[in-house]
């Protein structure tokens, strides 16, 4: 009986918080994103003003091949749409997208086929609002991957564990080899509301994609309990919300974070 009351009160709490959940997903964005759209970033600092379609960058495809750390630390991409200020010339000089889109690791702006004919690849990147034939289709690519409830609807951690994807964390000539730091043990973060299950934060799980520098020292201090924030901050895209709700799993999946048993 007591247990039932507790379960009900947790449910009531989750329902009452649903208002800010909807404010996040349905207020601003109007509708929940489709699985193939979640984590896509439109880059348009210079495209439209130069009469070319804006660029669509897809996290689902790139995160299946590389760590977040490689792009957001070594290659210097900002974690903010348009924040990097990429220019077409940078790419042709081998910087930003051009560190890979150079005709070796991935396609480049133009390529010559076997009979010497030039094929332009502009529209594969400059694809916003246009009908483009892509090489990689989301549904074909993620077929057979373990499922999650929201976002890309892919359980990325499990997909990596199962060996369905292999992540590269270095690019020759760019990444500097460093001594690996010891990964701290899992910690609990108190939810500070009696009926809300506490959060189990796993450094081990995070180390698969995010090196230490993605979180320390900019987002979180390295002293236990030194960074203070609330659930609303997370919904607003700060702290855990710097990744969750944008590229990593969505904040609607409460129990993935609030996972410590209360019963």
Identify residues 11-40 at the interface with ligand HEC (CB under 6 A): 14, 17, 21
**C-beta closer to ligand HEC: residue 1 or 131:** 131
Minimum distance, C-beta of residue 51 to ligand HEC, in the bound complex (Å): 7
Minimum distance, C-beta of residue 73 to ligand HEC, in the bound complex (Å): 10
d(CA 47, CA 211): 32
Establish if 169 lies at the interface with ligand HEC (CB under 6 A). Answer: no
Contact map string, positions 115 to 154, toward ligand HEC, x by CB under 6 A: -----xxx-xxx-------xxx------------------
Contact 60, 39 (CB under 8 A): yes
d(CA 189, CA 178): 30
The CA-CA-CA angle for residues 115, 117, 122, to 5°, reads 140
Binding segment (CB under 6 A) for ligand HEC, from list 2-10, 26-34, 111-119, 176-184: 176-184
Q: Which residue among 37, 107, 128, 170 contacts ligand HEC (CB under 6 A)? A: 107
d(CA 119, CA 109): 9
Establish if 164 lies at the interface with ligand HEC (CB under 6 A). Answer: no
d(CA 171, CA 229): 35
Radius of gyration of the chain (CA): 21
Establish if 10 lies at the interface with ligand HEC (CB under 6 A). Answer: no
Q: How far is CA 151 from the centre of its chain?
A: 10
């Amino acid at each position: 009986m007591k247990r039932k009351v507790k379960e009900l009160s947790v449910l009531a709490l989750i329902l009452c918080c649903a208002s800010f959940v909807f404010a996040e997903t349905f207020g601003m964005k109007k509708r929940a994103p489709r699985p193939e759209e979640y984590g896509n970033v439109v880059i348009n600092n210079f495209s439209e003003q130069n009469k070319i379609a804006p660029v669509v960058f897809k996290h689902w495809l790139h995160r299946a091949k590389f760590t977040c750390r490689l792009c957001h630390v070594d290659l210097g991409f900002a974690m903010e749409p348009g924040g990097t200020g990429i220019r077409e010339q940078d790419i042709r000089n081998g910087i930003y997208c051009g560190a890979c889109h150079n005709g070796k690791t991935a396609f480049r702006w133009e390529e010559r086929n076997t009979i010497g004919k030039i094929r332009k690849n502009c529209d594969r990147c400059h694809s916003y609002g246009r009908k483009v034939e892509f090489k990689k289709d989301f549904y074909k690519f993620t077929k057979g991957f373990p499922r999650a409830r929201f976002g890309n609807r892919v359980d990325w951690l499990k997909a990596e564990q199962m060996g369905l994807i292999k992540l590269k964390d270095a690019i020759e000539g760019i990444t500097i080899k460093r001594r690996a730091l010891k990964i701290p043990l899992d910690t609990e973060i108190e939810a500070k509301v009696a009926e809300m299950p506490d959060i189990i934060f796993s450094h081990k799980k995070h180390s698969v994609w995010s090196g230490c520098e993605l979180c320390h020292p900019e987002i979180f201090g390295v002293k236990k309990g030194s960074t203070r924030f609330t659930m609303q901050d997370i919904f607003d895209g700060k702290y855990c919300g710097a990744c969750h709700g944008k590229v990593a799993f969505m904040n609607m999946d409460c129990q993935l974070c609030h996972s410590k048993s209360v019963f």
